[in-house]
Amino acid sequence: MIGKLKRSIKKVLPPRILARISANRWWKFSWKAHRSSGRLDVCRKVISKNGIVVRFGPFAGLKLPPKCILASGNCCTLVGTYEMELHPWFQQLDFTQYERLLDIGAAEGYYAVGMALRAGSPVDAFDTASVARRLCRSTAKLNRVAHLVRIHSFCSPQTLLQLAGLRCFILSDCEGYEAILFSEDVINALANSDLIVELHDGAAPAGTTRELLRERFKTTHSVQIVHFQPRDLSIFPDPALAETLGADAIRAIREEGRPLGHEWLVATSLHHTSPGNHVED
């Protein structure tokens, strides 16, 4: 009965409200899970041994407030292995070539603030969770780019349709909403833009969202699918830190919370050539 009621409520709530409720619930649930699993202890240890500066990866030099690391339960950013499958694209992208930069699902601001630092230009950061927006603001302030990171709540298809004809870079991690957000009309409007979209199938069969978006992007973009890879100590970028962390080193890079089979879709505009177009799978 309760489950049926919840499904009925979801059907009538506007997407903006539903996204806000879901996002705030996720942050509360995650905090409890991090605390009970011991992930927070690993994060505190990494902070004490590494400091708060990202040492490796495409956003090396970025500073992350301790409260952001602890709230997300993710110290992979500090270690330098966070979403490392995407590093080749981010390393080669020239963010200054874009007219607009967007991070949809910005969380604590790792990407939004990192892009602002590299580009020296404004980044629009969207997140429906109020706690995430506060954390993103703190990260931007710590890195002295608060004037460049424009923080918003909900990103709708109408938001993206307003970018029609512009050359944009869009990073999306919107927990399953991507199938609605990137409609055919939106993708056609973004024909000049490059995108990295994290894929989520939720209750749908694995690969459903991937194939749906691949089909929609095929006439305007070159599409590559990037697969999450297993983590082991051979990829740890700082052997000295790994040794210092001891048995917690493997947890520091495995606590990213992604299952094997997780995927991203990288879509590069067929109208433009950029370094990211040439990265091999």
Residue spans of the domains in the chain: they are 2-278
pLDDT tens digit sequence for 116-125: 999 999 999 9
- Does pTM surpass 0.75? yes
Query: Positive or negative, the Cα torsion across 62, 66, 71, 73?
Result: positive
Give the Cα separation of 176 and 115 in Å (integer).
23
DSSP letter for 220, please: T
CA 35 to each of CA 29, 44, 176, 253: distance values in angstroms, whole numbers, following the listed order: 10, 12, 26, 17
Residue 29 has pLDDT above 70, yes or no: no
Q: Would you call 241 helix, strand, or coil by DSSP?
A: helix
List, for residues 50-102, the tens digit of each pLDDT value. 999 999 999 999 999 999 998 888 899 999 999 999 999 999 999 999 999 99
Beta strand 221-227 with 149-152: parallel, antiparallel or unpaired?
unpaired
Between 255 and 135, the higher pLDDT residue: 135
From 126, 267, 119, select the one nearest 192 (Cα to Cα).
267
* Topology of the domain covering 2-278: Rossmann fold (3.40.50)
Cα–Cα distance for residue pair 198/273, rounded to 1 Å = 22
CA dist 31 → 28, 128, 138 (Å): 5, 17, 18
